[in-house]
Amino acid sequence: MFDTLKKSVAISAINYVPKNSIIGIGSGSTINFFIKELSTISSYIRGVVPSSSMSEDLLKQFNIPIVDLNTLTSLDIYIDSADQINHSLEMIKGGGGALTREKIIASVSKKFLCIVDKSKYVKKFDNFPIPVEVIPISLNSVSREVVKLGGIPKYRKNFITDNGNYVIDMYDLCTNNSIYLEKYINNIPGVVSVGLFCVRKADLVLVSYSNRIDKISL
């Protein structure tokens, strides 16, 4: 069922791709559906900035032009999914480990469109783990800081990010003050990025249900 919902919201997102634009895209199963749909209008755009090697590989399979972000100053739109998105359009992202590049691309985009199925749209964050990308030497020191915050750190075994780093999944952290938490964790020495997208949150979210797609903005 959820694959059907992911595909339907991916198809709807095509309507938000500006003509003759270079867009940013995220990673994950919903974005894979989006890339397949994007291939049907690839002549309509100038190219795509991908957030992960997996997305880049799929773009290449469909012969969609890939653009280096360093050649640009901004993007018209960034389209990505989320592990969870709340009613304030804040997100937890990074289940696939691409959180740092996702956050970079989102930061230079004029609009952030988040596309999710109904299971990902929540009133407030529940106990979904918050990923943190860390440089290898800081794995234990960052984990100790997470414990001080009341969280339970779990090292993501046998996983290396596209940037050559490790990921710690943080469980049981209180997210009532999510913006403060994002900034605090980002300032821990050794942290590359945290999978809270609350400072740069989504501008618009499309949520797919079995019989409709809701469009939500603040």
187/205 same-domain check: no
CA distance 85 to 141: 29
pTM strictly above 0.75: yes
pLDDT at 54: 97
17/92 same-domain check: yes
Which CATH number does the domain housing residue 161 bear?
A: 3.30.70.260
Tokens of residue 124, six digits: 């407030």
Annotated binding residue 203: no
Spatial CB neighbours of 150, under 8 Å, sequence gap ≥ 6: 172, 173, 174
Annotated binding residue 27: yes
205/183 same-domain check: no
Annotated binding residue 83: yes
Phi/psi region, residue 75 (left: phi>0; alpha: psi -120 to 50; beta: rest), is beta
Look up the domain containing 78 and give its range: 2-121+199-217
- In the set 37, 56, 90, 102, the catalytic residue is 102
Residue 182 annotated in active site: no
- pLDDT per residue, tens digit, the chain (218 aa), is 789 999 999 999 999 999 999 999 999 999 999 999 999 999 999 999 999 999 999 999 999 999 999 999 999 999 999 999 999 999 999 999 999 999 999 999 999 999 999 999 999 998 899 999 999 999 999 999 999 999 999 999 999 999 999 999 999 999 999 999 999 999 999 999 999 999 999 999 999 999 999 999 98
The interaxial angle of helices 2-13 and 29-38, nearest 10 deg, is 40
Annotated binding residue 94: yes
pLDDT at 87: 97
pLDDT at 126: 85
The total number of structural domains that make up the chain: 2
